[in-house]
A = this chain, B = another copy of it.
């Protein structure tokens, strides 16, 4: 590992990477380069005077280039001479600035090709790989997980790296792509398609630099193996112009993207929140075989709201069979409760009846999703043991059940007790395979999208 362009100023790009190597206890050799500080130590690493003076053995895989844009072509040439395989160009000041930067970018690419060195960037944060102890920002967990994220925005790559673990999932790799002059989204998608450590691929894309057809064909091959979730940024007029300045490319039309998703089985989401919810959904749930959803809740008002939101987002709320109604009627008197679907229990609700009802619904063939509401702040106020509550839900459906048990926690009041209770409850439920969504809309959208992915695979006889 060589970091070109370091300074004693911690805010300086190259020094920032040195800090992360120290923080994450990167196992390999790290060589900072800056003739100005030659022989001194920065962040515990000895600074070298030049690239040419670096040892030849062991060979250097990756160079992080954090020098002014103008001299990057020359640095890349020197790295090539040293036999470095990849250069991550952190520096900005290329095509994202327009015509002038575009020329420099071309020059950089020519030098890289001549020097047989592959380029990540320029204008990007690089790689977060917890197993490999690489990171682009502070305090990222070293625990790794099944999610890969490829991002055309360095800011979003950084935010997601922090936020994923707070939402109970960890990363295999996170890639900040930048201007994609060489290695691009197609290269990375192709790599992660067969990466055994990646179970779910997620992306933030603003534009495709290569032929759209390459991307479409590769998406088709990839969705056969694992779900691919795409958040497309820069959808409309002004967003488009924001994208232009951001990573210097042409953003596609959102309708085109929708058609592409339909053709490839990739899952399109609309914003960061939906991306997070979709990743959680893919990690937690079986692909539902139908859209049928049973709703269990306490009062008449919420039942109408939940049904509305399910149907507005593509799910169905069909009547349950008479057999199931009769079975539920055995423990819930019919007066003041509706036992067809949505199931409103009124005053006869309660935890035990909820559990019994879920068990009955497990045998309804036209229902794939059982949606319940939970109020963890209520469990706490009642002095219930949170783990016992969670376990009772986790053990309700038999292990071979084809249903997904889905919980929704609707909080409209910013109360401290509620925030704390849900914070304790949600990770516990997720660990047991039950997602707790913040709204019915979020739950319904995510489950509908998972069904659509499954439906795509079914129509193409892939599963």
Contact = CB atoms under 8 A, between A and B. Distances in A.
Contact of A338 (B235, B242, B319, B440): B242
A154 B301 contact: yes
A155 B305 CA distance: 12
A206 B156 CA distance: 41
Contacts of A241: 319, 340
A243 to B, nearest CB: 6
Interface string A413-441: 11110011011001000000000000111
B336 A92 contact: yes
Interface in A222-272: 233-239, 241-243, 245-247, 270-272
A276 interface: yes
Contacts of A298: 155
B423 A166 contact: no
Given A155-B300, A301-B153, A413-B167, A238 B307 contact: yes
B155 A311 contact: no
A273 B412 contact: yes
Contacts of A338: 242, 245-246
A158 to B, nearest CB: 9
Contacts of A410: 272
Contact of A273 (B234, B242, B439): B439
A151 B302 CA distance: 13
A162 interface: yes
Nearest to A341: B238
Contact of A412 (B163, B309, B415): B163
Interface SS, A side: helix
A307 B341 CA distance: 39
A31 interface: no
Interface in A334-358: 335-336, 338, 340-342, 344
A75 interface: no
B233 A305 contact: yes
Given A162-B413, A166-B415, A242-B307, A312 B235 contact: yes
B166 A300 contact: no
A215 to B, nearest CB: 19
A308 B413 contact: no
Contact of A234 (B302, B308, B420, B422): B308
This chain's copy number in the assembly:
2
Interface in A286-317: 298-305, 307-312, 316-317
Contacts of A426: 414
Nearest to A316: B238
A318 interface: yes
A148 to B, nearest CB: 18
A192 interface: no
Nearest to A338: B245
B318 A413 contact: no
B153 A300 contact: yes
Contacts of A136: none
Given A241-B340, A412-B163, A413-B163, A156 B301 contact: yes
A236 B308 contact: yes
Nearest to A334: B97
Contacts of A423: 414-416, 419
Nearest to A234: B304
A169 interface: no
Nearest to A410: B272
A156 B299 CA distance: 9
Given A233-B308, A242-B304, A245-B344, 10 more contacts: A153-B300, A155-B300, A238-B341, A239-B304, A242-B300, A242-B338, A242-B342, A273-B439, A414-B422, A416-B420
Interface of A: 92-93, 97, 151, 153-156, 159, 162-163, 166-167, 204, 206, 233-239, 241-243, 245-247, 270-273, 276, 298-305, 307-312, 316-319, 335-336, 338, 340-342, 344, 410, 412-416, 419-420, 422-423, 426, 439-441
12 contacts: A155-B299, A155-B300, A166-B414, A234-B308, A237-B311, A242-B304, A245-B338, A246-B300, A246-B344, A271-B439, A414-B423, A416-B419
